[in-house]
Amino acid sequence: MQRIGVFVCWCGSNIAGTVDVQAVSDALKNEPGVVFSTNYQYMCSQAGQNMIKDAVAEHKLTGIVVCSCSPRMHEATFRKTAAAAGINPYMVEIANIREQCSWVHKDMVTGTEKAIILGKAAVAKVNLNTPLTPGESPVTKRALVIGGGIAGIQTALDIADAGFPVDIVEKKPTIGGKMAQLDKTFPTLDCAACILTPKMVDVAQNDKIRIFSYSEVTDVKGFVGNFDVTIKKHARYVKEDICTGCGACTEKCPMKKVPNEFNLGMDNRSAIYIPFAQAVPKVATIDPNYCNMLKNGKCGVCSKVCAAGAIDYKQQDEFIEEKYGAIVVATGFNPISMDKFDEFAYNQSKDVITSLEFERLTNAAGPTAGKLLRPSDLKHPHTIVFVQCVGSRCDACAEKGKEYCSKICCMYTAKHAMLTRDKYPDTDVYVFYIDVRTPGKNFDEFYRRAVEEYGVHYIKGMVGKVTPEGDKLKVQASDLLANKQLHIDADLVVLAAAIEPDKSARPLATMLTASMDTNDFFTEAHPKLRPVESPTAGVFLSGACQGPKDIPETVSQAGAAASKVIGLLAKDKLTGNPCVASSNELMCNGCSTCERVCPYGAITYENKEFRMPDRTTAIRRIAVVNPAVCQGCGCCTVACPSGAMDLRGFANSQIIAEVDAICK
């Protein structure tokens, strides 16, 4: 039996003005378990708190009920008081007789009646309270960043800067991501490589950062502070630590007809390759799909020309297991496939390209060495049509396209149009838009400059059809403001393709038990207040894996994610919320219902041997809640058919006791 002390606060006249506090403390004196009851002017004051401490000592109290203001106001205060008095802080319950009683009721009789009932409910609950201790778990002081684009790079650099070791896992042979493929960056037009490659070098040279390139995460176990991750390092058939990146092998390799993915297939590379000049790590990789030596054992040229002796045709995939305290997802985006958009003739004509391909065409390191030549005949295009919103902002029911705005297209199209007009003033540039969306610092100014200073023709309307005819592309489009249908003979058509999360994101989310939206973007723990955290504790989001983003936004989110990781890794131990779910293994059916509703992936199952009443043993599947991951929402408790799952601090019996006390 508990020994409960009741302390009714006057809150000056805030409570005492409408509630007869003496009557409340008298009435509660007779409740079961109550051994002491009093009232005082300001319970939260030092004197009031001392009164509680004295009463605990004098009456050997095991539980405390404070009838006062909202628990959201002073629950923490009174819990500290309880702890100081030597009882468990979770043996305190607050009856809210100010915000939810004296302040909303005017009549002394009804106010007092209700206050007594609220006090009784709190007493009934405390009778069933048990001391709770927050769980503690250690923190592995190492972070994992999945994805080596600008988001991953920035996050890793910021974490390493705070002194914590970081590993980057990148599935391509080099880090750099999409930004490495870009030409110039809006709105300042500095070259992407000039600002990105120094960061890549910083990553390579930072002794806190390890890069696992050409690798992917294959398994994640554990929970916040204690993740066990398996990383699969694909065989690149080149010893990474020996290769100097001299490039001799790539020159001598006889197999030179491999579509170069870095230039989006617009030119070719050799079977052994370094993706681009500033690659990090600058190490060659053999493409096993094209290498003659690996396919049929006939060649071996690269091995002969390699002065360092780095080539190893026998290399195997390697699995690395590592522990991490925090995981940052930075898996980025890809332009969507244009296969379903027949009307734009993307698959019929080489001169209909996506904006990312246009980036490579204008990039000095691209297939045309930066000269704007159209892919089909390498002639200079004189009329270029840009089409915006290709596959963005589509109806949810439509079979093609995405429902969301891809956010970056308006700005990069303005950039492309402006740069084209700047370099080639003899070119007519048309941009077909539905809306021009340019929120962002100096963004709208940038777009206006494209129109006003560079003479780009912005036309409100959409392109309906592109037909290749001879060496021209017949573009049929709407000009909605002029209410005309336009027919333009274009030399080049550039499609602002919608962007979508990388395909690797969905299986990764499953491994991390991190939630995703229907578009496969990772969801945030809170859309406004916790935008860089996943609901799964210890998993953080950086860059476009969370939603379409431009570079400045990505970098700021990357920094924010890093600071969250640093905050986590700076702790030696994680203290959990003790009000978590727990399953009574004797009653658990192992039916997996609770696991399905848990938003945090806190519930796992194990097979456990039980001694049965008939003295046999049986192995039963039972649910186990990880208290470090559980956030205490209680959803599982209702989903559980047998009632095995219960929530500490808000147990079934406690809530029912409150209901009973109120309804008596």
Partner 1 sequence: MQVKEYKPLIVAFCCNWCSYAGADLAGNNRLSYPADVKIIRVPCSCRVNPMFVLRAFQRGADGVILCGCHPGDCHYTSGNYYTRRRMALLFSMLDYLGIEKERTRVEWVSAAEGAKFAATMNDFAEKVAALGENKRLEDLRCKR
Partner 2 sequence: MHNKNQYLQEELLRTSGVNPKKCMRCGKCSATCPAYDEMEYHPHQFVNMVESGDIEPLLNSKSLYRCLSCFACIDRCPRGVEPAKLVEAVRLAAIRKQGANHLKADDVPAMLDDDIPQQALVSAFRKYAK
Partner 3 sequence: MQKITRDQLIEKAASLLANGTVSCVLGWQKGEFDYDITPAVFDTEDELKANFVWNDFCGANFSKYLVSKTKKCEGKILVFLKACDTYSFNQLLTEHRFDREKVYAVGIPCEGMADIAKVKAIAGDGISSIDCSGEKMAVTTIYEDAPVMIDAKDVLAERCVNCKSKKHVAYDELMGEDGDVIDSARFDEVAKIEAMTPDERFAFWQNELSRCIRCNACRDICPACTCEKCVFDNPNSSVENKSPANSFEEKMFHIIRAFHVAGRCTDCGECSRVCPQHIPLHLLNRKFIKDIDSFYGDYQAGAEVGSRAPLVNYTTDDLEPGEVFERGDN
| Minimum separation from the CB atom of position 623 to partner 3 (A) | 10
Q: Which partner from the list partner 3, partner 1, partner 2, none does 80 bind, CB cut-off 5 to 8 Å by kind?
A: none
CB nearer to partner 1: pick between 586 and 659: 659
By the 10 Å C-beta count (0-12 exposed, 13-18 middle, 19+ buried), 591 is classed as middle
* Residues engaged in binding partner 2 (CB under 8 A): 343, 389, 391, 393-395, 397-398, 401, 434-435, 460-465, 476-480, 483, 485
155's tokens: 């996050």
β partners of residue 184: 191
CB nearer to partner 1: pick between 314 and 664: 664
273's tokens: 């390759």
107's tokens: 């009549």
| Minimum separation from the CB atom of position 601 to partner 3 (A) | 14
Residue owning tokens 């007092």: 112
| Minimum separation from the CB atom of position 486 to partner 2 (A) | 8
Using DSSP, state whether 84 is helix, strand or coil: helix
Kindly state the DSSP code that residue 516 receives in the 8-state scheme: B
Pairing type for strands 326-329 and 539-541 reads: parallel
Q: Which partner from the list partner 1, partner 2, partner 3, none does 105 bind, CB cut-off 5 to 8 Å by kind?
A: partner 1
Indicate whether 510 belongs to the interface with partner 3 (CB under 8 A): no
CB nearer to partner 1: pick between 168 and 525: 525
| Minimum separation from the CB atom of position 556 to partner 1 (A) | 23
Report which of 661, 614, 632, 579 is spatially closest to residue 131, judged by C-alpha positions. Answer: 579
* DSSP code string of 20-32: -HHHHHHHHHTST
Q: Which stretches of 41-197 are assigned E, i.e. beta strand?
A: 63-68, 92-96, 136-138, 143-146, 166-169, 184-185, 190-191
Query: What phi and psi values does residue 359 have, to the nearest 5 degrees?
Result: -55, -45
Angle at 406 between CA 403 and CA 409, to 5 degrees: 140
Which residues ranging from 558 to 597 are in contact with partner 3 (CB under 8 A)? 586-593, 596-597
The 10 Å CB-count burial string (b at 16+, else e) for 251-270 is: eebebeebebebbbebeebb
Using DSSP, state whether 152 is helix, strand or coil: helix
Total residues in contact with partner 1, by rule CB under 8 A: 48
CB nearer to partner 2: pick between 489 and 553: 489
| Minimum separation from the CB atom of position 527 to partner 3 (A) | 12
Residue span 51-80 as binding mask against partner 1, x where in contact by CB under 8 A, dash where not: -------------------xxx--------
Residue owning tokens 């390699």: 306
Q: Which partner from the list partner 3, partner 1, partner 2, none does 353 bind, CB cut-off 5 to 8 Å by kind?
A: none
Q: How many CB atoms lie within 10 A of CB 657?
A: 19
The letter for the amino acid at 98 is R
Q: Which partner from the list partner 2, partner 3, partner 1, none does 642 bind, CB cut-off 5 to 8 Å by kind?
A: partner 3
Residue span 571-590 as binding mask against partner 1, x where in contact by CB under 8 A, dash where not: --------x-----------
454's tokens: 């560079």
| Minimum separation from the CB atom of position 553 to partner 2 (A) | 24
Residue span 524-563 as binding mask against partner 1, x where in contact by CB under 8 A, dash where not: -xxx-------x----------------------------
User: Residue 281: is the preceding peptide bond cis (ω within 30°)?
Assistant: yes
Q: In this chain, which stretch among 235-243, 453-461, 532-540, 614-622 interacts with partner 3, using CB under 8 A?
A: 614-622
Kindly state the DSSP code that residue 343 receives in the 8-state scheme: G
CB nearer to partner 3: pick between 123 and 473: 123
- Residues at the site binding partner 1, with contacts judged by CB under 8 A: 70-72, 96, 98-101, 103-107, 110-111, 113-114, 117-118, 121, 515, 523, 525-527, 535, 579, 597, 599, 631-635, 637-639, 647, 650, 652, 655-656, 658-660, 662-664
- Residues at the site binding partner 3, with contacts judged by CB under 8 A: 586-593, 596-597, 605, 618, 620-621, 639, 641-644, 652-653, 656
